[in-house]
Structure 1
């Protein structure tokens, strides 16, 4: 077990004891395992996780995964007598892990995160562990999981190619790797734009660019989402690698009923995100006044948009060579 990891039994401590796993940063509660990761770990962030999870279900056609997951997790699959296992990296509030455990009751599902935010009442085949996943050696045996899932994680990983190497190491031959990340570049009326262009959403674009600057300053590669498929192929351990993307509407402008629901959920998630990134921006050197101006300008564009705002979702699934 690498030194950054906390034994999984600590998840079962009382709420009072959980205080050792949290710290307050610029008014928001954050995790205490990795001080480089500045996104909050509190009730507001749990609400944002829930909105994103619901949105994904609509985008994926009432599913929460892509690829041949049902085939790989079939009770008839030969695993030499070992239990089928799923690992959810960066599980957050644990919603994906719980839903997978409900859908596949014969499969052991483990969710991993920096903070104990997950529910206590879960299916018997679902467990949660605490671990800093931004480490050189993940504390999981090689060839031990049939599905490995990681979404909205790249902003907390400093060496994403090595992270993918570790995910591949612990994935069983024939298993499925699923990666889901949002692009950090804003889209207006169907085109990527910037704060220097006539975008119609200057405040939204300025905030996006400051987020990119802050992450880059912290050593995070902001181009990872668009390159995930390429990075997985470069590992050389996968026979099939598929990368797709979908431009997610943000707001109430879509005419299609399903897209309208997606847009509403994305709008609410974005509204919470604007405030959630405050600790990150302040840690990057911006003043309270600068952050206040950025967030208020972004909120104006979100509340009163002059164009159609979207965000590109990148989705990769890959099947490990047998």
Structure 2
């Protein structure tokens, strides 16, 4: 049974304990074993990547997709692609080297990765499931040319009517797609139509509003303000950034059954006492810090109409917050998967 969707997540500075995920114990912010220290340093048809869909938009020193310009607010340059691969590694740590949690069949035939980005998840799935043809779709042709023979990439806009054969996919996967769609339920309905009876959908999403269990993320602090600004820009844009808080209910609304939601806390930094959370926190901080400018620059300047200097000043405040070891911030992450009924 799905929980009631949360429309406005708690943003107060008082300590808030998640009713499902246990509180995190604060430890020493040290890591003598890590190899990485973030403190150092409008056609709707599916189009093959062999076509010439490679025009770009350059703005504020970043490169954005040109195909359906403005549909997606994050850049597609090398810096942001590196952040995406970092997020992939982070999720492998979190899920103990599993690429997904849905109990898909041992020999799937067709797998779809929506918003594939660098294509790293699709490539890993193709290597892991030799029986499957894995298709990754995206607005940007930034995926590598040399991939497993059972993996391919296509330019596609998943916000419009899907062109895949109904009932053709064993598994449809989404990850880290905040701000991509105005109507997630409709997107999930397109996925439902495309998935075979008995097949699965799965979505991984991070909530963009940092919290704390001990009140160290206070109202007006850079982390708290970050969450407020992201939600404000998303609301103004007409694309909610509260996706992680509603995924389970929306997937059920689209018709999926056996829906499971798993909640995780992603610490920002190495402050947790638990060794695994400390490692995840190290990577999540790097993912957040390296990706925040690309994640928010277009939202701040195009949507909220800030100027470039004002945005850079805010990013400077956030960088100082990342270095404050007295702040024990984390973000919520959800993994939701569900099954298409055998009889529909």
Taking structure 1 as the reference length, what is the TM-score of the superposition? 0.87
Residues 1:36 and 2:71 aligned together: yes
Q: Unpaired runs of 5+ in structure 1?
A: 76-82, 197-201
1:253 matched to 2:262? The reply is no
Q: What is the correspondence of 1:121-200 to structure 2 with a 5 Å cutoff?
A: 121-135=146-160, 137-189=161-213, 195-196=219-220
Cα shift readout 1:110-147 (whole Å, capped 9, x = no counterpart)? 00011011111110000000012222x01111111000
Residue 170 of structure 1 deviates from its aligned partner by 0.3
TM-score (norm 2): 0.82
Partner of 1:287: 307
How many correspondences in the alignment? 298
Q: Bigger shift: 297-306 or 43-52?
A: 297-306
Equivalent position of 1:88 in the other structure: 113
- Compare relative contact order (CA 8 Å, sep 6+) and give the higher one, 1 or 2: 2
Q: Report deviation, 1:25.
A: 2.1
Matched, 1:4 2:22: no
TM superposition shift of 1:24:
0.7
Aligned residue in 1 for 2:32: none
Contact 1:36/1:218 (8 A) holds in 2:
no
Structure (1 or 2) with the greater helix fraction: 1
Q: For 1:177, what is the secondary structure of its paired residue?
A: strand
Give 2:262's aligned residue: 244
1:27 pairs with one of 54, 61, 69:
61
Change over 3 Å in CA distance of 1:18–1:227 after alignment to 2: closer
Asked if 1:270 corresponds to 2:288, the answer is: yes
Contact residue 185 and residue 208 of structure 1 kept, 8 A: yes
CA distance in 1, matches of 2:267, 2:90: 11
Judging changes above 3 Å, is the alpha-carbon distance between structure 1 residues 194 and 158 closer, same or farther for their aligned structure 2 residues?
farther
37, 59, 63: which one aligns with 2:94? 59
Query: Where does residue 11 of structure 2 map in the other structure?
Result: none
**Alignment partner of 1:231 is 2:237:** no
**Match of residue 321 from structure 1:** 341
Instruction: Tell me the distance in 1 between the aligned counterparts of 2:76 and 2:197.
Output: 34
Match 1:118 to one of 121, 143, 148: 143
Give, in angstroms, the shift of residue 19 of structure 1. 4.1
Query: In 1, are the aligned partners of 2:138 and 2:156 still within 8 Å (CA)?
Result: yes
CA displacement at 1:18 relative to structure 2: 5.8
